[in-house]
Amino acid sequence: MKASTKAPSGRKRENPTACTGCPVRALALFQGVAERDLDWTSRYREGQYQIAARETLFEEGGRGPLAFTLFSGWVMLSVSLASGKRQILRFVLPGDFLGFQADMSGPHIATATALTDVTVCAFQRDRLASLLRERVDLASRMATLSARDQFLCHQHLIGTGQKSARERIAFLMLELFHRVRIVHDLVPMGVKSDSIALPLSQEQIADAVGLTTVHVNRTLREMRESGLMEIRDHWLIIHDHDGLAAVAHFDPAVLRMPAML
């Protein structure tokens, strides 16, 4: 894969959203920053970009200079295997951070691709590392966000190794259902009482849970016929929430982790 060192291919907004009025700040890195300090934090932001669906924010192995908070839309993080197959690591929603890793000066360890049109707030990776060293509150918040993502990755790894196809898909769907509804409390995300907009293909679901597309298609049909859930016209519709949760062994409380420090 060609290593990219460029800014994302997208349009930089001339009038970016002010940090003081950010609707997703309660979910993002700067959640705990006092109002009086928000002008200060905005100086660390390189800009706000609008990026079209299917465009890449950064590539695995690339050394792009920026990391991002997702402001709106959906992004997926994935890695490519030598066989040509793809493993989707996680789906990124508004408020989530992209590009944070142990070696902030090293190459990106995954590829970030926009699933929908997205808006991101961009930060210089080298300045971000310095900022986290200087501000314990921000380092704590980043640790909390990373711990949640690590927990979900662990659950998906357990699913790949030990769970049935139905259990894997049920867990992913409930995770996304509850995460989208948390975001929707702050900004519109396409939510109805029992459903959410879901801009994922069956191939992407398969690459996230470690199944073939054929197996995903068959399992989704079985889950629809058993009255648990269905995906129709890019909407996830949950018919039996308790039943689906029992299959998934999923507790939405894990998505609201307390601060670590």
Contact predicate 97/28, CB 8 Å: yes
Mean per-residue pLDDT, 86-109: 89
How many Cα atoms within 13 Å fall on the side-chain side of residue 7? 14
Say whether pLDDT at 2 is over 60: no
In this prediction the pTM is 0.89
Q: What is the pLDDT of residue 258?
A: 65
How much of the chain is in helix, strand and coil states, percent to nearest 5? 40, 20, 40
CATH numbers and ranges of domains, the chain = 11-134 (2.60.120.10), 148-255 (1.10.10.10)
Q: What is the pLDDT of residue 4?
A: 46
Compute the distance between CA of residue 228 and CA of residue 175 in angstroms, rounded to an integer: 15
pLDDT in tens, 204-232: 999 999 999 999 999 999 999 999 999 99
CB atoms within 10 A of CB 14: 7
Average pLDDT over all residues of the chain: 88
